[in-house]
Structure 1
Amino acid sequence: MKAKLIKTEHVIDGKEIFAVELTNNQGTYVKIYNYGAIISNFVVKNALGDSQDIVLGFDDFSGYINDDYLAAYPYLGAVIGRYANRIKNGKFNISGKAYQLSQNIGSDTLHGGYIGFDRKVWDILPALGPSLTLQYVSPAGEEGFPGNLTIQLTFKLTAENELILDYKAETNEPTAINLTHHGYFNLATNGGNISNHTHRMPASYYLQQDDNYVVTGVKIPVEGSQYDFLGPKLIGSNWDDQEGYDQTFVLDKEPGELTLASETTEESSGLKLSIYTTEPVAHFYTAKYLAVNNGKKGKNYGPFEAFCVETQHHPNAVNVPEFPTTVLLPGEIYKQTTIYKIEHQ
């Protein structure tokens, strides 16, 4: 495995933007920017022997900061923080103290606020080797969150075609944290609608959402519903083709256990993407709101042309005492691991 540092021509907030390329001896190539910790390329050999990029993005970094892209911002390939998904009314209490966050989607907070970790320039830590470690220090009060939070994210590409994401964070005062990665995947050789991908998730429950997609705290059994992915099925087999999927699934697992979150295959490429995580839930999103012009090779990306599996803690858990806590205290270390493993069927 090798890592290569590439300087771009871009400077944001006085910091240079770099790309880091990770490669292994199976022909797999991953490119990551220190802006937003964006995975911009994830190129693998498919079952036909061809190199295929399985994530949506741009050929050049400038696409990620283009005004048109930011106006319909889908968080392509970025890390999400401080808090993934939605927080009701942008409010929470810790130890009796109330906090008001930025309300960037109606009255709620989405993906950390107006400018989350997805649009920050991360520091590249020394000892660049077969892995890459990025660090971001989020100051107290950023988007309304308490505490100085130091986050490190390590990317490692293995010889077994696993891309491992290891997260670690510490705080100097109690705060809320829920990190995830927002990769948009398409395993088909020519892209397009992902309804013909076969998908499986070991999740017996999904979480109820209100009209603004905020999790309410109620768990609903998947049995007998379109949300039942306990056995493999085509994504489009019984979905609402106007809505697709945008739900959080509670994984059948023990807390902290590194187990399968999802398994997705596609016939034309013969590829299988297995995602493993220590996190308790995975948000499955089929990109209803995707609208991106001039993506890779000039392609436009539209609704249902990708799927996301966002491994995380329960959304809005900071307001739902019954959910596993997302409060991090001084002296504690936040840790999570998510693995993207590529194989042939």
Structure 2
Amino acid sequence: MKVKQTPTGNFINGNEIIAIELTNNKGTYVKIFNYGAIINKFIVKNANGEMQDIVLGFENVEQYQDEKYLENNPHIGAVIGRYANRIKDAKFEIDGKTYELEKNAGPNSIHGGVEGFDTKVWDVIDIAEEPQASVTLQYESVDGEEGFPGNLIVDLTFELTENDELILSYEAETDQATAINLTHHGYFNLSPNGGNLSKHKLQIFASNCLEQDAEYAVNGKLIPVANTPLDFTKPKEIGADWDPEEGYDQTYVLDKIYGDLSLASKTIAEDSGLILSIYTTEPVAHLYTSKYLRATNGKNGKDYTGFDAFCIETQHHPNAINISDFPTTVLQPEGLYTQTTIYKVSLNK
């Protein structure tokens, strides 16, 4: 197992962006930037014996900071915080006090606001090569940042195992009651040459999804997926039942015991023989097939566009801060936020 840190020479507010590389003894390789806790590369051996990168991204970290890219920020490969997905009407109440957020998705707030955790330089606080290659990043979000209350300290550990598992372990503490809902926004494509993902076979272990309004904000109601295009309880091609102009942008409530680490989804690409299995302690997984993805000059000079990748965003229920029937997303000063999500890569033998 190997861990390597490489300074990029790129600074934001005096903080240098570092590239951290994790490599296991099989040659599986993950490159992470402490800017946005971005997973920049995730390279594995496919069934054809080729080393293949399964995540979208850019060749250098400066491209993630490009003004044009950030105008329609797709959050490629980055951590999302303080709050994943949409908070309806960009406001919430805790202990009788209302907090107003920036409206950056129509009338709603999305993915932590205008400058969420995906645009912050995190501190590298620990690296290790044994028992597994790992790095721990830390970010302190100050009271009032993007409208959220409390000073929040978040630790995120990336650990690469010999079984080709990339484990993301989150912890967070606050000095004031606050809203928190973290996720990671990796864009995956398991085909050797990338491109449209409609032929990927997907299974999501969820019998229900969340109803949402025209602005994609959930309203607290569950929709059974049986006998609808939303049904992925059995493996099927992503494009089998979709509207090819819309794809999927839907939150699935996982069939699981709350808090248990269990299998959320499994995705297979026949042309590479790769399987991506995602395990999580979180109660929901948001499926996004990248309808709005627009990014130029990605890896190998490729331009990324709609339906070039899929995201499985493990998290708590979106807008739960405003819906009392959902599992709480309020973190108290005496509490500890924890989450584990695992990306496991294997071969379809």
TM-score by length of 2: 0.98
Gaps of 5+ in 2: none
Q: Deviations over 1:109-142 (max 9, x none)?
A: 0000000000000000034432100000000000
Question: What is the match of residue 180 of structure 1?
Answer: 183
Match of 2:313, SS state, is strand
The reply to whether residue 171 of structure 1 matches residue 171 of structure 2 is: no
- Counterparts of 2:32 and 2:55, CA distance in 1: 12
Letter aligned with residue 313 of structure 1:
H
- Counterparts of 1:270 and 1:15, CA distance in 2: 41
- Counterparts of 1:65 and 1:300, CA distance in 2: 16
Matches within 5 A, 1:120-199: 120-129=120-129, 130-199=133-202
The reply to whether residue 34 of structure 1 matches residue 37 of structure 2 is: no
Q: Pick from 288, 297, 322: which aligns with 2:300?
A: 297
- Counterparts of 2:109 and 2:67, CA distance in 1: 22
Q: Pick from 222, 242, 245: which aligns with 1:242?
A: 245
Contact kept? 1:205, 1:251, Cα under 8 Å: yes
Task: Report the Cα offset of residue 68 of structure 1.
Answer: 2.0
Matches within 5 A, 1:191-270: 191-270=194-273
Letter aligned with residue 126 of structure 1:
D
Contact kept? 1:72, 1:292, Cα under 8 Å: no
Letter aligned with residue 189 of structure 1:
P
Match of 1:194, SS state, is coil
Match of 1:125, SS state, is strand
Contact kept? 2:153, 2:174, Cα under 8 Å: yes
Match of 2:84, SS state, is coil
Match of 2:68, SS state, is helix
Letter aligned with residue 305 of structure 1:
D
- Counterparts of 2:214 and 2:230, CA distance in 1: 18
- Counterparts of 1:253 and 1:112, CA distance in 2: 27
Match of 1:243, SS state, is coil
Q: Pick from 303, 306, 324: which aligns with 2:327?
A: 324
Contact kept? 1:195, 1:236, Cα under 8 Å: yes
Task: Report the Cα offset of residue 220 of structure 1.
Answer: 0.3
Letter aligned with residue 254 of structure 1:
I
Contact kept? 1:208, 1:216, Cα under 8 Å: yes
Runs of 4+ in structure 1 off by over 6 angstroms are: none
Task: Report the Cα offset of residue 102 of structure 1.
Answer: 1.6
The reply to whether residue 84 of structure 1 matches residue 84 of structure 2 is: yes
Letter aligned with residue 109 of structure 1:
S
Task: Report the Cα offset of residue 212 of structure 1.
Answer: 0.5
Contact kept? 1:290, 1:304, Cα under 8 Å: yes
Task: Report the Cα offset of residue 104 of structure 1.
Answer: 1.4
Question: What is the match of residue 45 of structure 1?
Answer: 45
Match of 2:192, SS state, is coil
Question: What is the match of residue 345 of structure 2?
Answer: 342
Letter aligned with residue 82 of structure 1:
R
What number of residue pairs does the alignment pair up?
A: 345
- Counterparts of 2:44 and 2:37, CA distance in 1: 20
Contact kept? 2:148, 2:178, Cα under 8 Å: yes
- Counterparts of 2:232 and 2:78, CA distance in 1: 26
Sequence identity of aligned pairs in percent? 61
Cα separation, partners in 2 of 1:309 and 1:127, compared to 1, 3 Å: closer
Letter aligned with residue 228 of structure 1:
D
Match of 1:283, SS state, is strand
- Counterparts of 2:219 and 2:343, CA distance in 1: 29
- Counterparts of 2:80 and 2:306, CA distance in 1: 21
Match of 1:19, SS state, is strand
Question: What is the match of residue 103 of structure 1?
Answer: 103
Match of 2:198, SS state, is helix
